Amino acid sequence: MPRILGVDIPANKKLEFSLRYIYGVGPTRAKQVLAESGYDANRRAGELSEEEINKLASIITEKQFIVEGDLRREVIGNVKRLSAIRSYRGLRHMRGLPVRGQRTSTNARTRKGARKTIGAVRKK
């Protein structure tokens, strides 16, 4: 399993898709990195030599993409900042409710968790 920037990427997948396992590298950035490196996107990640892996890592760092730990820290910092200034979005994050205007009377189960029964009446 090749390791790029501290992340194990799957060896059996095509390069274009295996690069996406790096947090902060999505479809567009993966294509940009492959275009600059000149490697075939259909090649498997396991076929790369150590030099080729190092070249991919250096391209990602040269382009100054914020990835992995730095990006996670930045995102967590942004959420903490919203919570600290008590903005609407920050309050929604704190309460574990949808942040981007979705309805909550129905749905929103991913954010709200499993249903809690309130005031259930037992029938005799």
Is residue 53 included in any domain, yes or no?
yes
Would 90 be classed as within a structural domain? yes
How high is the pLDDT of residue 122? 66
Domain co-membership, 36 together with 58: yes
User: pLDDT at position 124, please?
Assistant: 64
The SS3 call for residue 2 is coil
pLDDT 10s digits, 65-77? 999 999 999 999 9
Number of independent structural domains in the chain:
2
**What stretches of the chain adopt beta strand conformation (E)?**
3-4, 7-8
Residue 18 lies in a domain: yes
* Domain extent for 16: 3-62
Kindly give the parts of the chain with pLDDT less than 50: none
Residue 66 has a pLDDT of: 93
The reported pTM is 0.80
Nearest-angstrom CA–CA distance, 20 and 10: 10
To 10 degrees, what angle do helices 68-84 and 88-95 make?
Answer: 110
